[in-house]
Amino acid sequence: MDATSRGTPHPLGASFCADGVNFSVFSKSAESLELLLFDHVDDDRPVRVIKLDPGQNRTHHYWHVCVAGLGKGQLYAYRASGPNDPARRLRFDGEKLLLDPYARGVATGPGYDRAAAARPGANAGKAMKSVVAKPGDYDWEGDRPLERPYSETVIYEMHVGGFTRHPSSGLSAELRGTYRGVIEKIPYLQELGITAVELLPVFQFDEQDCPAGLSNYWGYSPVSFFAPHAGYSIDREPLEAIDEFRDMVKALHRAGIEVILDVVYNHTAEGDEGGPTFCFRGLQDDVYYLFEEHADGYSNFSGTGNALNANHAVVRRMIRDSLRYWVQEMHVDGFRFDLASVMSRDEMGRPTHSPPVLWAIDSDPQLAGAKIIAEAWDAGGLYQVGQFIGDRWTEWNGKFRDDVRRYVRGDRGMMRLLPTRMLGSPDLYSHEDREPGQSINFVTCHDGFTLNDLVSYDRKHNGENLEGNRDGTDENYSWNCGSEGPTDDARIEALRNRQVKNFLTLLMLSMGTPMMLMGDEVRNTQHGNNNVYCQDNEVSWFDWTLLDSHADILRFVRLLIQYRLHLDMSMTRDRVSLNELLAGTDIQFHGVRLNDPDWADHSHALAATFVGVNRTREMHVMGNAFREPLEFELPPASHDGVPWRLLIDTSLNPPHDIHDPHAAPEVSASYYRVEPYTIVLLGRSLAKSAGFEADSAPS
């Protein structure tokens, strides 16, 4: 039997020492604690139980032991005994197997059973196990995070598994749905033109946290904040997942693409009082979670049954350690924080003006180069878009999403809101001199309709989720364009294509950082399901056959992204505040007549002429969200002999809907007819190198 010694409280987790592995875990109220070692993931009996002596193996609230002779790949877990007193917010269960909160790997065997962790009794043979890992054993070949400025960033929100799991992906069964599968599709991402992928959760999550018979797909059900999800590795092996994840990051970096992780630090997979005991609940319930003020029940600001106590010193340190690990050891470029407003609540669950954890992330020098993006709301009613704390935090701009949806749908009262959203939402961000890139603009994301479904369904169709269609939001600001769901009506399909292009045009031409959803570039559909969290199947996977059937939309998106990145269509510049940028940009608003904008609630027509701070190009955009065509008066036909050129007209059939700048046709008339539900963009150069002359390519 391998010898044991006292060990050390730092570092937390399983770390290598001179003669073996040191284990350290926090538990303030445990009366006894055992370290269990296993040979196989589904073993119901450990090969060794090491009972820690509180006099020898405990320093303050940290239990630790060094076990000689152990190495990488060792399976382990804890059992903690103590008070089971919900009134005191303690729920110790000395029979339950517990994961290490700092484990770098988590193993889930075929016998894993979530229900066994929720009912009384031992569950060792049906529990997940922690895995000893040695992350430093990897050759990064000089790779470092890219630190691309927001002004050069176009984000593509995607799911690691769903991106390549569809049989039409053309990959072998072994590669589909894996980190390595993503590597195989990097050429597609490069051709699309995106500069960053935002990956739905890749922390190890509980695939059984969903209705019976389904599988948790999204991954917003974490059991670890350090271990990459083993289900995305080729053999579902925890240690292989670490290296395969890093292979993916390294390959994406070589292609010039950043990796942003969607991280869940607001709740865990343990759920409410009736949920399973995996880790945190069994080690120190009152530290890791928030509780209702005068009850023993969990606060539910996440909508999933519990809320992490992020501003407790122990939890705050764990979150910071996790972020540093993913930047330093896994080389990720940034994070999007799910329901980040939960993290702004104090230890009583009350919103606080200066939350320590958020300021710690904002000011951490080890995270200084990483993008930090907040979903600035929570399920408890807290909505902080435009008011999130910190100097570096950017925000998912939910108001951009809603207002652009309503404008394209043709709602009343949108004429004043639309230009505000396109100009970086100064009503939200000008008061703190934020940079324009700090508004993350999006129309669709994983949570809700896809872009295709936004123009194909008036209501959600979530019956397959087995929750009686009660789940998912009811207000989508969608319009089916005349028929619910798929149709053979060519007129409806043409209108849907037009509306899709309208959304994409507004997204890519607006000030701020654009984010698009995986598959929107080819009208991927979820068949009207706006909450596919439990649909790990073809309902939510990327259908690669659509590259051919919707090649016109794909071409449109590729050119739009080129416009944004190479022609500075968004007028965005880094390290310049939104106020400074707007002050240096010439903008004139019009209606159907020049210099006569119609801001009335019933108006659906708006035009604008603008010249960016670099003074190299002039743009003129016209939008008609009315059901009839409108004649728009144009500014003078030429500037120093340089005419307007038609760049975009979303009503035209491809390839005339969007033009390469060097081949864009001249527009010499004094009026332009804008068809119903159409956006038109004209451009001309103010300098010879600007790129709109017929004989010049994009700069």
184 classed as catalytic: no
Angle between helices 398-409 and 490-509 (to 10 degrees): 140
φ/ψ of residue 371, rounded to 5: -75, 135
User: Do 241 and 275 contact (CB within 8 A), yes or no?
Assistant: no
| Nearest by Cα to 208 from 223, 226, 195 | 223
CA 234 to chain centre: 23
Catalytic residue among 93, 375, 435, 657: 375
User: Do 243 and 271 contact (CB within 8 A), yes or no?
Assistant: no
How are beta strands 439-442 and 371-374 bridged, if at all?
Answer: unpaired
**Token pair of 277 as six digits:** 């005991």
C-alpha–C-alpha distance, residues 634 and 618, integer Å: 13
With a CB cutoff of 8 Å and minimum separation 6, the contacts of 539 are: 464, 526, 527, 529, 532
C-alpha–C-alpha distance, residues 264 and 229, integer Å: 13
One-letter amino acid of 276? P
292 classed as catalytic: no
Is the Cα dihedral 120, 76, 228, 232 positive or negative?
negative
Question: What Cα–Cα distance (Å) separates residue 471 from each residue in 158, 467, 579?
Answer: 22, 6, 40
C-alpha–C-alpha distance, residues 276 and 126, integer Å: 12
C-alpha–C-alpha distance, residues 96 and 278, integer Å: 8
Question: Of all helices (H) and strands (E), which one includes residue 321?
Answer: helix 313-328
Catalytic residue among 157, 338, 395, 649: 338
Question: What Cα–Cα distance (Å) separates residue 643 from each residue in 216, 410, 589, 617, 648?
Answer: 55, 31, 20, 12, 15
Q: Distance between terminal CA atoms of the chain?
A: 69
**Token pair of 552 as six digits:** 């016109």
Question: Which residue's entry shows tokens 């878009």?
Answer: 385
Residues written for the chain: 699
Q: Would you name the residues annotated as active-site residues?
A: 338, 375
